[in-house]
Every structure is written in structure tokens, then in C-alpha cells.
Structure 1
Amino acid sequence: MIRTEFLAKQPTLKTARTQLVPMGPRFGPQLWRSLQNHDTDKLTGTHGTFTEDQVRKHLENLPGRSDRADWAIIRNDDSSYLGEVVLNDLDADNESMNYRISLRGLDVAGQGYGTEAGEAVINFGLGLVGLHRISLGVYAFNERAIRSYTKLGFETEGVLRHALHWDGQWYDQILMAKLAPGALDDDPPTTTDPAATTDPGAEGVH
């Protein structure tokens, strides 16, 4: 059984260079400014736009929720807001959640902040919350993000072909997931249907 009380009372998570602080109304100005930077829209597949009032209401609704956890990524050196990292889409029955991260812009991309924040959030989800599985979707052109997710232990599970239409082109979305340590240890052994190997006529049947 997963421990959703850790989602409702999510802690601040610390990494070598950042603090992940529970997201809330006080980060409204920073989040709003980051949404005005459209350099990352394609990376996240964001076609829509948001009003300042929508952002405010979203942030007001976050504290205390037991079905998701949102953090602001704050750099230790200068208390600068770097972006947000999220566990959402809770499936309690199957002990799984979705992972999402969005940096404020390309000025802080490629410096390892995303990987650093991701490691802390994944350890929180698989460890404290007790999730069995954390999944994500990433567009195939976002090679930097794919490398980061791979470093974090996410494995490719499939591809959604032509999942994003952007500037007249179609792009695939790669589905990735990470399981809790030891999750596969109790998998039943793969078995072969005896009829498939003993029926002398089976080989020629299509």
C-alpha cells in the first residue's frame, strides 16, 4: 500500500545545488514568468496558453493534495527559481504516478539541474511514498531530456507515433518508466505453450 500522506504533507527535498520546495501561491510570479518564455513550449508539447488567474488558482489548489506533489526548484547559490518538478496522475490501485519536469527556460538547461531534481523526486516517490512505478512521456526530438531520464534509470517501453503536431510536422512520443528496486524479482518465469512446440503441423500455420 502506498503512503499518500507523504504526498499531502510533502517535504522540502535537498540536492547538492538546489532545494525542491513544495509549490504554492508564493511561487506565482516565478511560474507566471516562466510560462511567458515560449522556448520550452515545443519540448513540453504545450499548445495552450494560460491566464495569470488560472495559474493563481492552480497554485492555490496544490497544498495538502494527496494525489500529486509539485515542487519549485530553487538554486541554493542565489535562491533563483529554476523550474518545477511534479509527480501527478496517481493510480493508487496500481501504485503508479507520472513524472514531469519543466525548467524555466533554455538558460538553465543542460547544466544537470533536471537530473539532480529528478533523482530526489524519484527517490521520494519510490521510497517514501512506496510507488511501484513512475512513468513519463518525452518527445523523440528532446535528446537532452532522454539522456537525463536514462541516467535516472528510466527505460523505454514504447512509442506513440505522431503524438505531437508542431509547426506542420509530426513527432513521436517515447514512453519511459522506472520501477521500484526489486520490482521484477517476483515476476513469474516465462512459459512456452507446449502445443506450440509439440504440434508437428504448427510450424507451417500462419
Structure 2
Amino acid sequence: MEIKLGKLSIEDKEKYWNSGFKNPDKEVMYYTGTINNPIKEQVYSYIERIVEDDSREDFIICDLDNNILGEVVLNDIDYDNRSCGFRIAIFNKDLCGQGIGYKATLEVLRVAFEELKLHRVELEVFDYNPRAKRMYEKAGFKVEGLKRDGIFIENEYKDVYIMSILEDEYKKIFI
């Protein structure tokens, strides 16, 4: 599936709410570690706050008809250390496995390393999401640690992998 990324804006509030949060996909919520369903006002307030935040770059993942499929985010950008966090969510489980997340990840890594001139991008992925872990590895991320019992979800503890990619690793693969 062809996709495009766009910067999340205030104008996207309604489409963002309808696509990802109005009728949330329970499986997506589980794989992203989401415990509470936010209400519309919380999502709107969140968007209004983050679009003005210089420590993050939030993108919506859209199909060619501008339907929002998910989001991909560079967060906690630290320009002094040239590093940031990364997260991604595809809002509908039926869209998983089609390469959407991989394509969005590669584009956001390009932004991180080529436009923002960062040195390190890191993420956390739950041990019960092996599909995501494989995709991150395909995109060049390496496991660098494990937070044992790092999340308590559905009444049990699960481990959390810490993964990262450095700018020279990105350049060797993609440039």
C-alpha cells in the first residue's frame, strides 16, 4: 500500500479522533500498551499541546486518499545529545502486515538523521509484539537492553526491549 506522511496539525483533530480513538481497535491498544481509552476532549487537548512542542515531531500516516492510517512520532528530542525516542501506531489491526509501518519508519528515520541531524533514535517494544520487533530490526534497530517485567498489562508483567539505531548504522543501510 502506498502511504504518505504529513505533520500532525490542529486541523487534523477530527480525522485523528475518528481514525484512531473514536472506536479503538482493542488489539492495537494491547500492542501499544494503551490501558485507557481517551475521550474526544482529551485527544483534542493532546493535539493542541503537542503541535506546539519543539521536543517532538508528530506525523500522521495517510493513504493516498488522505485517510489517516496511524501515526509515527519522534519524541523527547534532545538536540544537545542529538537523540530522540520513537513510536508508531497503525490504528487498525487489519492494516498490519502490509508494510505501512515499515515505510513510515524509514521515512521518519530519514527525517531524524538527514533533516534533524540526530545521532540516535531509540524505542521500546513489548516482548509480546514480535511482529513489531522484527520490523524494527529490518529497519536497522538493534536490541540493546531488556527491562524485565517492564509493563503490567492484562494482569501480568511483560518484558520490554530497548532498541536503537545510530546515524552511522542508518547511513550504512540507507544511504
**TM-score in terms of structure 2 length:** 0.88
Name structure 2 gaps, 5 residues minimum: 171-175
Shift of 1:92: 2.3
Residue in 1 that maps onto 2:121: 134
Q: Which residue of 2 aligns with 1:26?
A: 11
Residue type matched to 1:44 in 2? Answer: T
Residue of structure 1 in register with 2:55 after alignment: 67
Alignment of 1:33-52 (within 5 A): 33=18, 34-35=20-21, 36-37=23-24, 38-52=26-40
Out of 165-174 and 152-161, give the one that drifted further.
165-174
Q: Distance in 2 between matches of 1:182 and 1:60?
A: 35
Preserved CA contact (<8 Å) 2:140 2:169: no
What number of residue pairs does the alignment pair up?
Answer: 167
Please name the residue that 1:200 is paired with: none
State the Cα distance separating 1:182 from its structure 2 match.
6.4
Measured after TM superposition, the shift of residue 126 of structure 1 is 0.9
Aligned-residue offset at 1:138:
0.2
Note the residue ranges of structure 1 that are not aligned, 5 or more in a row. 1-15, 184-206
**Counterpart contact for 1:24–1:62, Cα < 8 Å:** no
Q: Normalized per residue, which structure has more helix?
A: 2
Once the two structures are TM-superposed, the CA of residue 127 in structure 1 deviates from its matched residue by: 1.1
In structure 2, the partner of 1:93 is: 80
| AA partner of residue 32 (structure 1) | W
Matches within 5 A, 1:1-206: 17-33=2-18, 34-35=20-21, 36-37=23-24, 38-76=26-64, 78-181=65-168
State the Cα distance separating 1:45 from its structure 2 match. Answer: 0.9
**Which residue number corresponds to residue 173 of structure 2?**
none
Give the superposition deviation at 1:64. Answer: 4.7
CA contact (8 A) 2:57 2:74 kept: yes
Q: CA deviation at 1:148?
A: 0.8
Distance 2:100 2:148 in 1: 29
Q: Which 4+ stretches in 1 moved above 3 angstroms?
A: 62-65
Distance of aligned partners of 1:56 and 1:153 in 2 relative to their CA distance in 1, 3 Å threshold? same
CA distance in 1, matches of 2:38, 2:51: 20
Give the C-alpha shift of residue 107 in structure 1.
Answer: 1.4
CA gap of 1:53–1:20, structure 2 versus 1, over 3 A, is: same
Residue 167 of structure 1 deviates from its aligned partner by: 1.8
| Rg larger for | 1
TM-score (norm 1): 0.76
